[in-house]
């Protein structure tokens, strides 16, 4: 019988630290609910002391999620641990995750502490956290560049102090699979009380080996694997959950390990993260990329048609991709629409289904055939609703290659219509400048991305914009068969997120 191994997801903590991947509270809650459906064992919900927003998100997730352990990160400081506990204490299964660096380079240049002082601090803080809850994870930051003998000593001490999980991070993505295997095996063989705890690993992808290192650690005896959806994270990212899980699933006879992950929720999870962060998954990304199950070579196509296993080592259905070819169009009924969404992995409330079906009918009038990716984009556009300060009423564009583009945009705020006109370098720029006039708050456009959801002349355009106000970045998304309309909707969506976040922050200076 295969041994059970735990999956620790840090998409909402380490993943969100990736540049441009910030999410608001509602979006983080939606991700946490999806991770619960995915059946991860632990959700690291954030770094509670980092900001009031982080604290609020960790607390909301802890109070909502019931089927996963919810953890908050904390430095080896009493104030961090206090704040972490305040955030997670409402969880059905709370965990405090505290860490301190153990490599010479970190102890000397960052902590400016001697090894014996680091050891004493680690033990003291694990004991301190233990007074709040039973489940305490201790991480030796930069473990892969630490002296193994020092790791053995500090791990033995924190386990004796009450740690229930010891984490061996490859913080800077420096190690290789053989080295990491030996490090984990050495810990198992040289820490006398290690059998009392889970051995966790947390790998970064700086050299492109995060998943390989994680799997090597699993073979060496690690019992908890830390990862993120789509591999998002600082710098080059983290080990990708979908790749780890499907490697264990596909090569079960080799690893003899299994997880409790519902693999049919993998694609849905990947899409959600991509939608909320605005970071697209590369087409050749393993498991969840658009080309992961595409075969262009004639030899490959012939083999797949004859027997799928010739070139497919896992099925699209195993990660939640449907092969149902039912065509939806403007004559399709609500039952067929609902059934298609369920097949795609969506479970909507009656109210959500009503709203989605209404949008589907509008889209079906514009497109002859509504494809699965259209439905996914449509549902995900409405997946996280925030209060709208501004609502798009209409826009009119006058543009051409021999005239200056002009846009008139009318928005509704508090049941009042507000309209402005502006010129710009093209219809999108003109529309954005008109919206800037209406909002009247200084912010900058950081990024604009347009791509088609499907193929063909009637394809929907999906626009992702990122705007910055002071140090905060806000992502907006718009969807339409008209790319200018998609652009305007995305910009208004980003503005609404910016204004909504301002109302949640104490002492917000933005007047609504």
For 438-453, what is each residue's pLDDT tens digit?
999 999 999 999 988 8
Q: Supply the range of the domain harboring residue 211.
A: 3-277
Domain membership flag for residue 267: yes
- 103 and 227 belong to one structural domain: yes
- 459 and 496 belong to one structural domain: yes
Residue whose tokens read 């990660």 = 319
266-277 and 25-38 helices cross at what angle (nearest 10)? Answer: 170
pTM of this structure: 0.84
* DSSP state at residue 18: S
- 263 and 364 belong to one structural domain: no
- 205 and 149 belong to one structural domain: yes
pLDDT given for residue 512 in this prediction: 37
In the predicted structure, residue 304 carries a pLDDT above the cut 60:
no
- End-to-end CA, the chain: 60
- Positive or negative CA dihedral for 276, 278, 279, 283? positive
In the predicted structure, residue 460 carries a pLDDT above the cut 70:
yes
pLDDT given for residue 505 in this prediction: 63
- 123 and 175 belong to one structural domain: yes
Q: Across the chain, what does the average pLDDT equal?
A: 90
Which of the listed residues 277, 308, 335 is the one where a domain comes to its end? 277
3-state percent helix, strand, coil for the chain, nearest multiple of 5:
45, 20, 30
Domain membership flag for residue 284: no
- 122 and 212 belong to one structural domain: yes
Asked whether 395 and 431 are in contact (CB, 8 A), the reply is yes
Domain membership flag for residue 137: yes
- 364 and 255 belong to one structural domain: no
Domain membership flag for residue 364: yes
Between CA 192 and CA 143 the distance in angstroms is 19
Between CA 126 and CA 159 the distance in angstroms is 9
Domain membership flag for residue 72: yes
- 227 and 315 belong to one structural domain: no
- 165 and 296 belong to one structural domain: no
* DSSP state at residue 457: T
In the predicted structure, residue 362 carries a pLDDT above the cut 90:
no
Asked whether 492 and 435 are in contact (CB, 8 A), the reply is yes
Residue 410's CB is within 10 A of a number of other CB atoms, namely: 16
Which of the listed residues 246, 277, 308 is the one where a domain comes to its end? 277
Q: Is 295 helix (H, G, I), strand (E, B) or coil?
A: coil
Domain membership flag for residue 51: yes
Phi-psi region of 112 (alpha: psi -120 to 50; beta: other; left: phi over 0): left
Q: How crowded is the C-beta side of 2, counted as CA atoms within 13 Å?
A: 17
CA nearest to 248, candidates 279, 217, 290 = 217
Structure-block tokens of residue 64: 């909502």
The mean-pLDDT minimum among 75-89, 150-164, 255-269, 320-334 falls in: 320-334
- 311 and 419 belong to one structural domain: no
| CA-CA-CA-CA dihedral for 25, 428, 369, 334, to nearest 10 | 40
The mean-pLDDT minimum among 17-31, 189-203, 243-257, 270-284 falls in: 17-31
H/E stretch holding 416 reads strand 416-424
CATH code at position 488: 3.30.160.270
Whole-angstrom CA distances from 410 to 28, 390, 419, 481 are: 31, 10, 4, 20
Q: Is 508 helix (H, G, I), strand (E, B) or coil?
A: coil
* DSSP state at residue 328: B
- 195 and 79 belong to one structural domain: yes
DSSP line for 110-156:
II---HHHHHHHHHHHHHHHHTT-S-EEEEEETGGGS-HHHHHHHHH
Structural domain total, the chain = 4
CATH code at position 57: 3.20.20.70
Domain membership flag for residue 191: yes
- 347 and 454 belong to one structural domain: no
Report which listed range, 11-20, 322-331, 431-440, is most confident.
431-440
Domain membership flag for residue 285: no
Structure-block tokens of residue 149: 């003998």
In the predicted structure, residue 353 carries a pLDDT above the cut 90:
no
Which of the listed residues 385, 404, 428 is the one where a domain comes to its end? 385
Percent of the chain exceeding pLDDT 70 equals 92
In the predicted structure, residue 324 carries a pLDDT above the cut 70:
no
Q: What is the pLDDT of residues 379-402, one digit of tens each?
A: 777 666 778 899 999 999 999 999
- Positive or negative CA dihedral for 19, 236, 4, 126? negative
300 pLDDT band (50/70/90 cuts)? very low
Long-range contacts of 412-418 (CB under 8 A, 24+ apart): 413/389, 417/393
Q: How would you class 474 by CB atoms within 10 Å of its CB: exposed for 0-12, middle for 13-18, buried for 19 or more?
A: buried
């Amino acid at each position: 019988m295969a041994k059970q191994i735990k999956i620790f997801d840090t998409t909402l903590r380490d993943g969100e630290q990736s540049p441009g991947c910030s999410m608001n509270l509602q979006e983080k809650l939606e991700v946490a609910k999806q991770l619960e459906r995915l059946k991860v064992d632990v959700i690291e919900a954030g770094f509670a002391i980092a900001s009031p927003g982080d604290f609020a998100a960790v607390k909301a997730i802890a109070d909502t999620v019931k089927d996963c352990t919810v953890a908050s990160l904390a430095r080896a400081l009493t104030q961090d641990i206090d704040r972490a506990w305040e955030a997670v204490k409402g969880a059905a299964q709370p965990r405090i995750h505290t860490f301190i660096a153990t490599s010479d380079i970190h102890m000397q240049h960052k902590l400016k502490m001697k090894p014996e002082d680091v050891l004493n601090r680690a033990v003291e803080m694990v004991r301190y956290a233990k007074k709040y809850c039973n489940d305490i994870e201790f991480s030796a930051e930069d473990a892969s560049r630490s002296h193994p003998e020092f790791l053995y000593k500090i791990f033995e001490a924190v386990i004796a102090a009450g740690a229930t999980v010891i984490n061996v991070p490859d913080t800077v993505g420096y190690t290789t699979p053989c080295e990491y295997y030996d490090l984990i095996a050495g810990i198992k063989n040289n820490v006398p009380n290690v059998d009392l705890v889970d051995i966790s690993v947390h790998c970064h992808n700086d050299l492109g080996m995060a998943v390989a290192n994680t799997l090597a650690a699993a073979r060496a005896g690690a019992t908890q694997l830390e990862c993120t959806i789509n591999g998002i994270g600082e710098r080059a990212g983290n080990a990708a959950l979908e790749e780890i899980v499907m490697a264990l699933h596909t090569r079960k006879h080799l690893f003899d390990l299994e997880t409790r992950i519902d693999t049919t929720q993998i694609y849905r999870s990947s899409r959600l993260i991509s939608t909320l962060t605005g970071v697209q998954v590369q087409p050749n990304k393993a498991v969840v990329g658009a080309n992961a199950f595409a075969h262009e070579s004639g030899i490959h196509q012939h083999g797949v048609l004859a027997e799928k296993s010739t070139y497919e080592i896992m099925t699209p259905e195993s990660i939640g991709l449907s092969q149902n070819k039912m065509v939806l169009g403007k004559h399709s009924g609500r039952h067929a629409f609902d059934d298609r969404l369920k097949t795609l992995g969506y479970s909507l409330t009656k109210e959500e289904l009503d709203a989605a079906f209404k949008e589907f009918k509008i889209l079906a009038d514009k497109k002859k055939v509504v494809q699965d990716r259209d439905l996914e984009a449509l549902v995900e556009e409405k997946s996280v609703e925030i209060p709208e300060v501004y609502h798009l009423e209409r826009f009119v564009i006058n543009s051409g290659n021999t005239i200056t583009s002009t846009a008139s945009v009318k928005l509704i705020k508090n049941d009042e219509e507000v309209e402005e006109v502006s010129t710009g370098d093209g219809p999108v720029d003109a529309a954005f400048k008109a919206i800037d006039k209406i909002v009247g708050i200084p912010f900058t456009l950081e990024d604009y991305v347009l791509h088609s959801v499907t193929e063909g002349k009637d394809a929907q355009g999906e626009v992702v914009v990122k705007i910055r106000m002071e140090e905060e970045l806000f992502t907006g998304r718009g969807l339409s068969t008209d790319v200018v309309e998609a652009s305007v909707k995305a910009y208004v969506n980003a503005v609404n997120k910016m204004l909504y976040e301002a109302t949640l922050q104490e002492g917000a200076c933005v007047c609504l």
